[in-house]
Structure 1
C-alpha cells in the first residue's frame, strides 16, 4: 500500500504566489486550481509571460479573478523570437492595471536554446523597457552568473524598481550582488529537494527581508508531491522549508515574505 501524502497545510497568514505559469497547467481546470489556491489562503497569484506567443494569454489570465495578476516579457529560451513587434506589445501593456512586472527575462546558458549574443541583447532591451516604464523585473539566470551581473550593472542607476531573480539556483556571487543592490531572491520547491543543499545555502545567506515565495508551477513540485504537476496551492510547503532552513518562526517567514511581495510588485497597496 502506498504511503499517503501529507495534506497541504493551511496557514492563518495569507501568501502571495509570485511566480507560476497558469497557462501551462494541465491536470485540472483553471477554476479548480484557483479555488484550491484560495482554500490554502493564497491571496494573490502572479502568472508569468515567457514568449511573444503567450503575452496576450497572460493578459487574459490576469482577468480570471480580481486576485490574479501577470507580467509581460520574453524568456531567454525564446530570445530569438523577440522582435520589434514583441517589444512594442510589452511596452504597450507593461503598465496595465493587472500587469505587475517585466518578465520573465534574462539569460540561460544551461540549455542554450537561443544564441548567447541574442540572449544578451534581448535581456538588455527588456531591462530598458522596465527602466522606461518604472516596473520591477522578473529575472531568469542559469549558468550565466557573470554575464547577468555585468548586464545588471549597466542598469544600476536607472532600474529603480529592481525586482527578483526567481527560482534562484545560482552561486553566492550573483546572490550577494543581487542582495547588495536591493533585489529579492525567489525560492520554490527546489528548496525541498534532497540534493539542493547549494540552494539552501543561499536561503541561509539571504535576509528574510529579501526572499520571495514561488512555485514556478507546473515545474519543480515540492516534496512531498514530487512526481505530480506543480500548482500554486503547493506553496505552503515552500514556506515551511524556508522557515526550517533559516530557523525562523513560520509566522515570521509568512509575514516577511508577504510584505516583500507587496513591496516588490504592489507598492501602492
Structure 2
C-alpha cells in the first residue's frame, strides 16, 4: 500500500456508523463488509431507507444481522413516488413489535433543491407527512437538506412543539444559519468523508461551530469515500478517517470525539440505553 493509502486506524473506543446504505454496496460481500467494520471497532451500523423499493430490503437487513439497525422513509429524490400505500407500509413497520427496536428512525427524508428530482411542492408535502409519522411513532428523524435551508427551517418550525425526539441533519453541507437553528433546537449534525475533501472548508467551518454534543459520525457509504481512499467505493469501515478529521478540526483528542459521538448516537437512536 502506498503512503497515501495508509491502513485504516483502529481506536480503543467503539463507533456507531449512523448513516450508510448497505444494500447499495457492490464491491464485496456484505458479510465481509460487516466483519471489516467490526475489526475497526464499528459496533453498530444504521442502514438508511430512501425509496419505496428498498423499505422492505432495509427491514430484511436489520432482521438478518445483529449489528445492523435501520430506518424507514422516502428521500426527496423519490417524493413523487409517495402514495397512501407507502405511508401505510412505513407506519405499519414502525408499529411492528418484532422490528420496533431495530427500526430506529424515520428517514431519509427532507428537501433537495440541487437536483430537483421531484417537484418542490411535492417534496415539502412528503417531508411534512413523514415528520408527522415520526411524531406519531416517537422516532427521531434523519434529514437530507441540500440547497433548501430556508424551507427546511420553515417546515421544522412547524414541528418544534410536537417532534420530541428531534434527529440529525445528515451529511451536513448547508450554511451556518441552518446549522445554528438545528443546534439551538437540539438536533444533531452528521459529518462524513466530505470533511476530508480539500475543497470542503465550508464543511469544516460548520464542524468548528458544532458542539461535540451535537455531532454524529457517518459515512453515507457507498458515497463520499474519505481521503485517503477517494475513488473507491465507500464502506462503514472507513469511518475512523472521519473521526480523525473531526478531532483535527475541533483541535481535540480522538478519544474525546469517539466517546462523545458514541454517547450522542445512543442518546438519539437507542434510548434509554444512553447513559454510558
Q: Which runs of 4+ in 1 moved over 6 A?
A: none
Question: Are residue 110 (structure 1) and residue 110 (structure 2) matched?
Answer: no
Match of 2:237 among 233, 243, 246: 233
Structure 1 residue runs of 5 or longer lacking an equivalent are: none
Deviations 1:145-197 (A, max 9, x none): 00000000000000000000000000000000000000000000000000000
- Residue in 2 that maps onto 1:213: 217
Contact 2:169/2:187 (<8 A) preserved: yes
Match of 1:254 among 249, 258, 261: 258
For these two proteins, the number of residue pairs brought into alignment is 269
Question: Are residue 51 (structure 1) and residue 27 (structure 2) matched?
Answer: no
SS in 1 for 2:63: coil
Contact 2:25/2:235 (<8 A) preserved: yes
Aligned 1:84-233 pairs, distance under 5 A = 84-95=84-95, 96-233=100-237
CA distance in 2 between counterparts of 1:229 and 1:76 reads 23
What is the deviation of 1:19?
0.1
Deviations 1:41-100 (A, max 9, x none): 000000000000000000001123211100000000000001100000111112422100
CA distance in 1 between counterparts of 2:166 and 2:63 reads 25
Structure 2 residue runs of 5 or longer lacking an equivalent are: none
CA distance in 2 between counterparts of 1:25 and 1:175 reads 30
SS in 2 for 1:185: strand
Contact 2:4/2:228 (<8 A) preserved: no
TM-score normalised by structure 2 residue count: 0.96
Contact 2:71/2:105 (<8 A) preserved: yes
Contact 2:183/2:214 (<8 A) preserved: yes
SS in 2 for 1:9: coil
CA distance in 2 between counterparts of 1:3 and 1:163 reads 38
CA distance in 2 between counterparts of 1:4 and 1:125 reads 45
